[in-house]
Amino acid sequence: MSKAPCCCEEMSDQEKLARLNEILDEYKDKPGGLIPVLQHTQSIYGYLPEEPLKLIAKTLNKPYSEVAGVVSFYSFFSTHPRGKYQVRVCLGTACYVRGGKEILDSFKKELGIDVGETTEDRMFSLEIGRCFGSCGLAPVILVNEEVHRRVKASKVGEILAQYRGVATDEQ
């Protein structure tokens, strides 16, 4: 997936559709173009809404079920809006036994959302992961690509405050 910042807030619906049509024109005759088209579409919209998926299927001459199947297979695609910050809590063995579940519960409580959901302000999305390769630093979370190690459930509010831009009294 492209790491380009989401431009979905800056474009009108008509501009998004025009951009999608440009991408479809570029890829419609290229074998293997479905995944790049989906990646570009997600960068335009911030997620993959149903109507653009239908347009993709029609333009690439693929059944909608095939397009939807690819989207549901790959975890980096989302059919619902994601937050500016994607919080992923590791629940691999090392993280789990060192408090990963409690950390996840603390994020759920602080954000008021469950796994797979996004806050109403589209600031945060909450996901789980199985291993981030930092077992010696467990428990670990990722906020976008930033690793937080040896996280404590009691510090979740402070971690979120860093991304909200709010200074905390405790250090």
Whether pLDDT at 168 is above 70? no
Cα-flanking dihedrals φ and ψ of residue 144, to 5°?
55, -115
Predicted confidence at residue 82, as pLDDT, reads: 85
Q: Is the pLDDT of residue 5 over 50?
A: no
Does the structure show a pLDDT above 90 at 2?
A: no
Across the range 157-167, mean pLDDT stands at 86
170 pLDDT higher than 60: no
Residue 166 confidence class, pLDDT cut points 50, 70, 90: low
Residue range 75-115, pLDDT digits in tens = 778 888 888 999 999 999 999 999 999 999 999 999 999 99
Find the mean pLDDT for residues 148-171.
83
| The pLDDT of residue 124 | 95
Average pLDDT, the chain: 89
Helix and strand counts by DSSP (H, E) for the chain: 7, 4
Which of 154-160's residues contact partners 24+ apart within 8 Å by CB, and which partners? 154/106, 156/103, 156/106, 156/107, 156/110, 157/110, 160/107, 160/110, 160/111, 160/124
- What is the bridge-based pairing of β-strands 141-143 and 124-129? unpaired
Domain 85-164 belongs in CATH node 3.40.30.10? yes
Residue spans per domain, the chain: 13-73, 85-164
DSSP H helices, the chain, are 13-27, 34-45, 50-59, 64-73, 93-95, 101-111, 156-164
Q: Higher confidence at residue 123 or residue 80?
A: 123
What does the alpha-carbon distance between residue 24 and residue 12 come to, in Å, rounded to a whole number? 18
